[in-house]
Structure 1
Amino acid sequence: MGKKTKKPGKGKEKTEKKTVKAEEKKARREAKKLSPEDDIDAILLSIQIEDAKKKEVLVEDNVPAPSPRSNCTLSINPLKETELILYGGEFYNGSKTFVYGDLYRYDVEKQEWKLISSPNSPPPRSAHQAVAWKNYLYIFGGEFTSPNQERFHHYKDFWVLDLKTNQWEQLNYKGTPSPRSGHRMVLYKHKLILFGGFYDTLREVRYYNDLHIFDLDQFKWLEIKPKLGALWPSARSGFQFFVYQDEIFLYGGYSKEVSSGKSSTEKGCVHADLWSLDPRTWEWNKVKKSGMPPGPRAGFSVSVHKKRAVMFGGVVDMEMEGQYLLVDVFGVTFVLLHATDLEKSVLTYRWILSAYLAL
């Protein structure tokens, strides 16, 4: 009798099953090594249990200023232009990371803070986005980091705060963007415009350049996909997104690129490109810069005033001897304040270096 012939594909199938089992065992071993401080599921469950104990909205007047933090949101109250609304953020003290879910309201005229505690609040987060419209504050996404920065959780939840009652509500609609942080969201007329962001689980990192629209009248999400051959910004997070009349501008940001080959390595990329988006056609155009444009940066701020967009600060990654060093613009002995004239002149925008401050 001849040798038995193996059925094609069986060996490959067994190998794949063994590989999957091995990866599952490895994941279980790694999970067991986690300290309680890095068990994000347990931490968030504990926060949820504590939040469930809240029965009514509590407003504390004239409280101390919020603790130091970054990656929070600060929004102008549409019902009262002299009031700012601060939510969330994070603080790293050199050894531990603290993520916040507190809500403050600041009276600019009285220079007083109010601390708001409400039932059914969003879990703590940073690097989310918040947009105020009418008597509501809308929040999407963000991330929660374990104290030892060993684990990350990215949110895809969508919340609304009633600014009259201080009550939160989670909104569940089809077509919600995927989990992310570092994205940007702006208001154009009755629409929320969301672009970009990133997703990081330490094992996997993804940067996005998708464009999503939420209609505040129809309460629907819509993803705008690029047409064949259309210009489109590359994937990124930590950029700035701002509205002027019937144009939405995008500048800068950060992303990681993975090199192809046997030894795939990640390389950070800090962007310095300027784009404009027409919200009537959803077409992107890359804007030619003139004057004294700012350099590459991420994590900076922009504010539109009259016909100008004022840019301040930011950070940039610098590669030194095979390592990446995150350099704060403030820490390089100077601060740049740029302004760009939003009045078109031969289809270009002019950048002006408005201030140079030595530290």
Structure 2
Amino acid sequence: MYSNRSQSYRKNNSLKLYPGSPTESHLQESEYKYLPLITRVSQEQLDPKWQECKIDGKNLLPRSSSAITIQNNHLYLYGGYQYAIGIMKDFYKLNLNAPTFVWQKIKCNYEPGPRCRHSICSFQENIYIFGGQVADLISTNEIFIHDVKQQQWTKLEVNKTYPQPMDNHCATLYKDQWIIFGGFYSGNQCKHSNDLFSYKFQDNKWVKLNKQKGMEPAPRDGSSITSYNNSVYIFGGKNGDLRYNDLWQFDMLKLEWNFIAINNLNTIPMSRSGHSLISYQNNLILFGGIHDVTWELDDLHCFNLDLKEWKTINFDTSRRQELELPSPPKTNRNPPRQRKPKRLPILLRPLSLRKSPCPSPKKLRPGSQSQYSSYSIKNQNNFASPDLSQCQSNLYNQNTTTVQTTLNNVQERKRWEQQKQKIAMLKLFEVENREIMNFQDDCNVAEKLKTSIILIGNPKQDLKLKKGILTEFGQQIISKFLLPLTGGQNTINGKKPCARDGHAVVVFNDSMILFGGDRHTMSFNDLYLLNLNQF
């Protein structure tokens, strides 16, 4: 990969070693001469704004479309979805002030059941869950309350003010109200929504806010919402295959929508859905989402509410390798086609180039019927005598029938042999429906690859780099999964999340907490912290 680089480049970027003997120096130089370049690449991928939280003990199953909230310095998580498992119903909490991060499962006698694409929030001493998808194509509009002290779930009575069953909506807290926007109505309606509802916790009552006619966002789901001062803001979302990148403000005092016109159109983030949007001071922070099929994003943007401008903090790198591929030069074209030499009629050719006008059909190979078609009788009528033409015509008709029959038999026999081989091969791979589940693996593919790289790349994880001297394996520098813990025992500084959508976020102190999500149907169970003070 680096063999084409110049020797001067390697010399300037070489790693200084302190060998114990010339023989050891020679071996290390030959074995690790490309190590500085790999180290430099890994350093470029570090981002000081991000931290990855290391989970002590058993981690959660990977999932997307879950929901998280903060209550008394604890992170609560409910439900989610994984392609191999389906909709989940587990309930966990994690102490954010503990020296180590440990997920604790909360067991209750009565539970809301499976949920994904739902919303969750904490108000006073309770945790609320609303809506979501409970099964394939089935959503709900139920609200459950969890008493944190008693560890009990209670289902509220659904009244006429409740919205229709929905999922994939977005929600945020505004003072003593729970604001719900958009989503997808299931059941009889089966359509996207642009309704904005407010739920008052004390009254158990929903109120539709956007009753007035006027400019408003298009119906959508998969958008994100946040509140700041006396307004709520939404960005993006999708309606079928159409995704948006518009930013809207809803004035909670005037109860009206306002489209936010951007001063610099070149800085507007790409259209997306399944992303996250939070507010911090006078900024809106946007991360991730999906822009197109199999195109999840890992970019980070900031919108200044005073200047009405977007600022790109981190560009999308999910397709960096595709963008860096050099385009073919304009001169690299296909060579011009060479014209085939025209064949003269038989009587006008030299005797050495003439072929017999009546070749024997026994000498013909399968597929060589073109010998007859190359010499058209119509072209020879202008040069041959009538007697010769009649002779050639009679022989041609007889031989053509024989050759055509032989070719048809050969081709039919080949097709039949290929069909038999195909049927026999398919029978080897036939698996009954009840046996398919035995071949499915619940383990995340990324976790398997991660474990394999650690075991193969560095069998001895306790080896470290001391005083610039490489150890026996030296993989502690190369493997990005073995970065040393810095700034605390439970986080890795500089480790940022990969591209994803369907993740869950929440603000805790001066940090944004991000959990899970998926990419190409591969779910994650990682936990990250974004330092908001560095914007």
TM-score (normalised: structure 1): 0.68
Q: Secondary structure at the match of 1:271?
A: strand
Match in the other structure for 1:24: none
Give, as a single letter, the amino acid of the residue that structure 1 aligns with 2:301.
H
Match in the other structure for 1:275: 248
Match in the other structure for 2:263: 290
Shift of 1:191: 0.7
Contact 2:235–2:277 (CA under 8 A) maintained in structure 1? no
Structure with the bigger percentage of strand: 1
- 1:235–1:103 distance in 2 versus 1, CA, 3 Å: same
Match in the other structure for 2:317: 358
Aligned match for 1:338, one of 295, 301, 304: 301
Contact 2:270–2:291 (CA under 8 A) maintained in structure 1? no
| CA RMSD, 1 decimal | 1.9
Residues in 2 aligned to 1:217 and 1:358: alpha-carbon distance in whole angstroms? 46
Give, as a single letter, the amino acid of the residue that structure 2 aligns with 1:106.
L
Residues in 1 aligned to 2:316 and 2:192: alpha-carbon distance in whole angstroms? 34
Give, as a single letter, the amino acid of the residue that structure 2 aligns with 1:340.
F
Q: Does 1:254 align with 2:238?
A: yes
TM-score (normalised: structure 2): 0.46
Structure with the bigger percentage of helix: 2
Match in the other structure for 1:109: 97
Q: Secondary structure at the match of 1:290?
A: coil
Match in the other structure for 1:169: 154
Residues in 2 aligned to 1:356 and 1:195: alpha-carbon distance in whole angstroms? 28
Q: Post-superposition, which runs of at least 4 consecutive aligned residues in structure 1 deviate over 6 A?
A: none
Contact 2:232–2:249 (CA under 8 A) maintained in structure 1? yes
Q: Secondary structure at the match of 1:117?
A: coil
Shift of 1:269: 0.9
Structure 1: stretches of 5+ with no match in the other structure:
1-61, 146-150, 257-267, 318-325
Q: Does 1:306 align with 2:281?
A: yes
Residues in 2 aligned to 1:173 and 1:282: alpha-carbon distance in whole angstroms? 25
Instruction: String of CA shifts for 1:286-342, please: whole Å, max 9, x gaps.
Output: 01123411110000112222222211110023xxxxxxxx23324xxxx31100112
- 1:225–1:248 distance in 2 versus 1, CA, 3 Å: closer
Residues in 2 aligned to 1:286 and 1:358: alpha-carbon distance in whole angstroms? 29
Match in the other structure for 1:100: 88
Aligned match for 1:327, one of 294, 302, 306: 294
Match in the other structure for 2:192: 207
The structure, 1 or 2, with the larger RCO (C-alpha pairs under 8 Å, 6+ apart) is: 2
Identity of aligned residues (%): 27
Rg (Cα) greater in structure: 2
- 1:339–1:158 distance in 2 versus 1, CA, 3 Å: same
Q: Secondary structure at the match of 2:299?
A: strand
- 1:351–1:225 distance in 2 versus 1, CA, 3 Å: closer
Q: Secondary structure at the match of 1:236?
A: coil
Q: Secondary structure at the match of 1:125?
A: coil
Shift of 1:231: 1.6
Contact 1:250–1:276 (CA under 8 A) maintained in structure 2? yes
Aligned counterparts, 1:1-359, within 5 A: 64-77=58-71, 80-81=72-73, 83-93=74-84, 97-110=85-98, 111-145=101-135, 151-174=136-159, 175-200=161-186, 205-228=190-213, 230-256=214-240, 268-291=241-264, 292-317=267-292, 326-330=293-297, 335-342=298-305, 344-345=306-307, 349-356=308-315, 358=317
Contact 1:210–1:225 (CA under 8 A) maintained in structure 2? yes
Give, as a single letter, the amino acid of the residue that structure 1 aligns with 2:276.
S
Shift of 1:245: 1.3
Residues in 2 aligned to 1:269 and 1:294: alpha-carbon distance in whole angstroms? 15
Structure 2: stretches of 5+ with no match in the other structure:
1-55, 319-535
